[in-house]
Structure 1
Amino acid sequence: MAREKLEAFYLSRFKRMPRPTEEEKGIPPRMRTFADGIEPREPMKLTVDSILDSQAKAASAYKAAKARNRGKQRR
């Protein structure tokens, strides 16, 4: 499980490859293929600031989703 999370991060965030489709999400990242002609881009620069920004963005998205779900439960 940890290996798949790391591989998914490596492909989508670090190498900036396209995100998997719904069908591809069930396939381990190592087994996925990309359309002919798609090349990895320059790696994303990882800095402490970029990681903190990413964590803050994820926390904000989580809070927003949680608030939306709470609103649905009250109805």
Structure 2
Amino acid sequence: MNDEINYTNNPLHGLGLQDLLTQLVDHYGFETLYAYLNINCFKTNPSIESSVKFLKKTEWAREKVEIFYLYKYKNLPRVSSEQFALPPRKRIIPEGQTPREPAELSLEDAERVREKQAQKAAEHGKTKHYQNSKPDRYW
């Protein structure tokens, strides 16, 4: 019962995946969702029904959409470090934090975000050192 009380402090509590997607698509459209989330169900023959079907089967994609819903569409402040590791539906929104107007997003902004992420990934790859990549001796 205590868990039930905690989850009511989350905008995802009681919200079905189809309703969540409908809200996102009505506000942003499939093109913007694909640009920000890079999930193919928003690009190839997109529909609410096919997206729901895919997201129900694919946990990582569903969580990505739920995080987008919480922090872009509901425009909540960043999650605390304790809550970061939890799936979006299990996160507890602190008292006093209420959803705000949806973030204004553009395709140009999405491209800048992707470029920034690609640059970080490239930098991370450059600094990564592999230990024991070659055996000390060959048999």
Shorter-chain TM-score range: 0.7 to 0.9
Residue identity opposite 1:73 in structure 2: Y
- The number of aligned residues is 71
1:3 to 62, 75, 85: 62
CA gap 1:24/1:50 in 2 versus in 1, 3 angstroms: closer
Q: Give me the whole-angstrom Cα distance separating, in 2, the residues matched to 1:15 and 1:39.
A: 8
SS of the residue 2:120 aligns to: helix
CA RMSD of aligned residues (A): 2.1
> Is the CA contact 2:73–2:102 (under 8 Å) kept in the aligned structure 1?
yes
Q: Give me the whole-angstrom Cα distance separating, in 2, the residues matched to 1:61 and 1:14.
A: 25
* Structure 2 counterparts to residues 32-71 of structure 1, below 5 A: 32-69=91-128
Identity %: 31
* Unaligned 5+ runs, structure 2: 1-58, 132-139
User: Are residues 1:73 and 2:133 paired?
Assistant: no
Moved over 4 A (4+): none
Q: What is the aligned partner in structure 1 of residue 81 from structure 2?
A: 21
CA gap 1:48/1:23 in 2 versus in 1, 3 angstroms: closer
SS of the residue 1:73 aligns to: coil
Q: Give me the whole-angstrom Cα distance separating, in 1, the residues matched to 2:80 and 2:64.
A: 13
Q: Give me the whole-angstrom Cα distance separating, in 2, the residues matched to 1:4 and 1:34.
A: 16
Residue identity opposite 2:81 in structure 1: T
Which structure would you say has the larger Rg? 2
